[in-house]
Every structure is written in structure tokens, then in C-alpha cells.
């Protein structure tokens, strides 16, 4: 086994590697229709946050739940792309993998809805 020598830190290399991440986000936005709904509801939550003057702690919960939904959707999309590549024929395990990843997104969406209801409903009822 040949051991690879560790390259010196390079800011240019770090910037170039970030372009791959941005490309991935672009793929997510272009190919995942549910992501557009998630963006819409994230923007709605941010809008309501400003209108209803939520606290710093409430903002933290909103931002974290939005991030969790976005991350789980990105991972779900990555799993789907990988499964489609590695298992182009139908296989029950491939289906199970996709369904479990989609279930993770659904769980994160339920948590985000719950957090939104806890934060926004009392403020809306007080109007």
C-alpha cells in the first residue's frame, strides 16, 4: 500500500473544493422538487419571524429546524442518486434505503412544523 503524502494547506485548493459543494447545492435545487416547497416554507417562517418579532432563542430554533430539513433533503437526494447508480435494477434493499432516507426527511419536516406551531401560534393568537 502506497501512503499518500499530506499536502500543505492551500487556500486556493480549499476555495476550489468549495465549488464542488456549491455544485451539489445547485444539483439539489435543480432536481429536487420538494426542496422548492421547503425553501418556500423556510422563507415563510423567516417572514413570520420578522413580522411577529420572535426572540433570539426562537430564531435559533427556527434556523436550526430549517437547516435540519435542508440537510436531510440533501442527504436523501444524495442517497437516491447513489442508489440509482449502484442499483439500476429494482432491488427491495434499494427501495428500503430510499424509503428510509425519505422517512428521515419526513421526520425533520414534522419536527419543523411542530417547532413552527410552538413558536408562531401563541403569537398569532395574541394578535
Q: Is 8 helix (H, G, I), strand (E, B) or coil?
A: coil
What pLDDT, on the 0 to 100 scale, is given for residue 3? 62
- Cβ–Cβ contacts within 10 Å for residue 81, how many? 14
In angstroms, the Cα distances linking 124 to 24, 53, 61, 91, 119 are 37, 11, 18, 48, 9
Binding site listing for ATP: 80, 89-91, 98-99
Catalytic residues: 73
Q: Measure the CA–CA gap between 58 and 69, rounded to whole angstroms.
A: 17
The cell 401560534 sits on which residue?
A: 121
- Report the pLDDT value the prediction gives residue 106, as an integer from 0 to 100: 98
pLDDT at 10: 85
Per DSSP, helices labelled H in the chain are 11-31, 33-51, 56-86, 92-125
Mean pLDDT by runs of 10 across the 127 residues of the chain is 71 87 96 96 98 98 98 98 95 97 98 98 94
Residue list for the binding site: 73, 80, 89-91, 98-99
Task: Tell me whether residue 63 is exposed, middle or buried, using C-beta atoms within 10 angstroms of its C-beta: 0 to 12, 13 to 18, 19 or more.
Answer: middle
pTM of the model: 0.88
Q: What is the pLDDT of residue 2?
A: 62
The annotation places the binding site for substrate at: 73
The CATH class for the domain spanning 45-51+58-127 reads mainly alpha
| pLDDT at res. 7 | 74
Amino acid at each position: 500500500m502506497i501512503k499518500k503524502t499530506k499536502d500543505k494547506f492551500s487556500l486556493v485548493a480549499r476555495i476550489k473544493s468549495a465549488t464542488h459543494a456549491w455544485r451539489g447545492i445547485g444539483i439539489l435545487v435543480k432536481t429536487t422538487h420538494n426542496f422548492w416547497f421547503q425553501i418556500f416554507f423556510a422563507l415563510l417562517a423567516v417572514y413570520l419571524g420578522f413580522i411577529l418579532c420572535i426572540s433570539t432563542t426562537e430564531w435559533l430554533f427556527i434556523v436550526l429546524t430549517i437547516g435540519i430539513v435542508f440537510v436531510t433533503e440533501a442527504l436523501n437526494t444524495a442517497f437516491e442518486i447513489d442508489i440509482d447508480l449502484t442499483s439500476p435494477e429494482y432491488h427491495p434493499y434499494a427501495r428500503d434505503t430510499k424509503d428510509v432516507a425519505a422517512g428521515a426527511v419526513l421526520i425533520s419536516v414534522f419536527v419543523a412544523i411542530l417547532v413552527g406551531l410552538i413558536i408562531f401560534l401563541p403569537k398569532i393568537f395574541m394578535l
